[in-house]
Structure 1
Amino acid sequence: MTAEPTPVRRPDALSRGHTDGELRVLYTRQGWTQLRPGFYLPPGYDDGRESADVHRELIRATVPALSPDAVVSHQSATVMHPVPVWDVPLDRVHVTRNRANGGRRSRQLHVHSAPFDEADVVEVSGVRVFTLERAFADLARTVPLEQAVVIGDAALRKGSTKDDLLAALSYAEKRPGHRRAVHAIEMLDGKSGSVGESRSRVVLAGLAGPKPELQTSFLDHDGHSIGRGDFFFEEFGVIGEFDGKVKYGKYLRPGEDAGEAVYREKLREDRLRDMGWIVVRWTWAELQRPHLILAKLRRAFERRAIIGAPVGVFILAA
């Protein structure tokens, strides 16, 4: 079996006896990508890979050329930890230097200037990066709320606390975006298990009335588990479900294909409805049109008022 092509670094290639001319042929005639001078990706390397994987390679290619006092920061740091980022550009490596000014931006590098302590720095895979808390604090000041909540929820799932995030943000108390970041932290909940669920919570924040409980367990009349619901509006007996889980493998069991998981999910939903719950689903596409999701839920609330209280059993997540 032929080994999968791997990235090539110029110093490594020269040490093995290759020449600059041979490397030039790779990206001028053989379809390789020059990620940056002296670092090359084989053809199709990014096929099937997340953009974060390619960004990590760009970070590794960039760090050796940086000033020793530069620390990988912002979305580049979150990618190194790693936590998911959504709709945050990954075309440049972001680093921060501890100085009052001197920020600059090029095609592949964005250098920020901001104060930090060594306590804000950790080493990940041999690279000096900001802690996840500090990286989030920087991003939450500058990206839209939805993107900040996606990253912040993931940070909580990895063990950070809201107090940790607020402490990391303290350096920016008088800087632009501080209040925006505090608002994002107030909205975080580590029980959101995916990018789609985090984005859904931002949408649901625009719904007047009670806020949903997350990851509620539902039982049948014999006490057997039916499954969990993403968002549970207890007062209305309505379960909200973000319909993107199978794509990301959340429900896939070993040896199971997506079709089997979809069918099993349908059976779970049928059981929930049999127990009297109203189930409302929405998709990735509908997250782009949040008014459709809110309208679905309002109709479900109105339907519950007509048909009466549900008979199912549930257990709120701790």
Structure 2
Amino acid sequence: MTTTLGPGSVVVLDTAAELHRIAGLRPESAIHVSLPANRPRPQRLTDPDVVVHQLAVDPDAVSEVAGLPVTTPLRTVADVILRADRYSAVCVLDSALNRQVVTESDLVRIPALLVGRRGAVAARRHLAETDGRAQSPLETRTRLRCVDGGVPPDVLQLEVRDRDGYLLGIGDLGWRAARLIAEADGQAPHRTPTAVFEDRTRQNRLVNAGWRILRFTWADTLRPDYIPHTIKAALHPYPR
């Protein structure tokens, strides 16, 4: 595909993120490609889904995936968070960290890649909210709803063990003082019969150990007040 656009073309933005298996962006059919700034944009493209950009991409910011020239994971993340909304941007950052395509030390290099670019102020704020312990965009979105609602979890990937040290389960988000866990239930990891059985067994162990479990879905994250309201009700239950 990039060969049809000539030498120097590079896969960028959302398409590069997909090739690097970085999650968190809305699926789209567009294929994002950048051409060198000194080359005119093609007047007509044979593929209507190709979106042509002219980003300044240094050679050391280009890698190869499946035989295609692609911006490196670090450069891809920097480009994406300049354009994405807050929730999507933090999801991308969390995913890149969790999947280890970028490291914590890499993140400190991102501000330099943002200097002088539109969206840099917001992108730097997104960086400050990154947490690579989130194992899915749904976990990230659930955490952000809690933060926005004034009930941030005090731990992610909370390990609950019995007195002998046996691991009873791991909670996605936890409030230790209240012995409360919130689970972000994505459709794919939880839809098989085996997964359903394992989820129920794990939840029973946690409940028997004195923990309360709340469960949230992607649809719940689309309702700004629902998750924090539910968490607050669990943290401060009405007296009986």
- Residues 1:96 and 1:169: Cα distance change in structure 2 (over 3 Å): farther
Q: Which residue of 2 aligns with 1:150?
A: 91
Where in structure 2 are the equivalents of 1:68-147 lying within 5 Å?
A: 68-88=7-27, 90-99=28-37, 107-147=48-88
Q: Which residue of 1 aligns with 2:188?
A: 248
Counting matched residue pairs gives: 236
Instruction: Give the greater-gyration-radius structure (CA).
Output: 1
**1:202 Cα deviation (Å)?**
1.9
Cα separation, 2, equivalents of 1:190 and 1:153: 5
Cα separation, 2, equivalents of 1:94 and 1:149: 21
Runs of 4+ in 1 over 4 A off after TM superposition: 100-106
- Residues 1:102 and 1:144: Cα distance change in structure 2 (over 3 Å): farther
Q: Which residue of 1 aligns with 2:174?
A: 232
Cα separation, 1, equivalents of 2:169 and 2:223: 28
CA contact (8 A) 1:232 1:239 kept: yes
**1:306 Cα deviation (Å)?**
5.7
**1:67 Cα deviation (Å)?**
2.0
Deviations 1:112-144 (A, max 9, x none): 222221110011121110001111111101111
| SS in structure 2 at match of 1:265 | helix
Q: TM-score under structure 2 normalisation?
A: 0.88
**Counterpart amino acid of 1:83?**
I
**1:73 Cα deviation (Å)?**
0.5
Q: TM-score under structure 1 normalisation?
A: 0.67
Deviations 1:65-102 (A, max 9, x none): 112111110011111122224315x2221122342896
- Residues 1:101 and 1:75: Cα distance change in structure 2 (over 3 Å): same
| SS in structure 1 at match of 2:112 | helix
Q: Would you say 1:276 and 2:210 are equivalent positions?
A: yes
- Residues 1:207 and 1:72: Cα distance change in structure 2 (over 3 Å): same
**1:221 Cα deviation (Å)?**
3.1
CA contact (8 A) 1:104 1:112 kept: no
Q: Which residue of 2 aligns with 1:35?
A: none
**1:227 Cα deviation (Å)?**
0.8
Cα separation, 1, equivalents of 2:24 and 2:221: 16
When structure 1 is superposed on structure 2, of 209-218 and 103-112 the one drifting more is: 103-112
Structure 1 residues without counterparts, runs of 5 or longer: 1-61, 252-256, 308-318
CA contact (8 A) 2:146 2:152 kept: no
| SS in structure 1 at match of 2:148 | coil
**1:197 Cα deviation (Å)?**
0.9
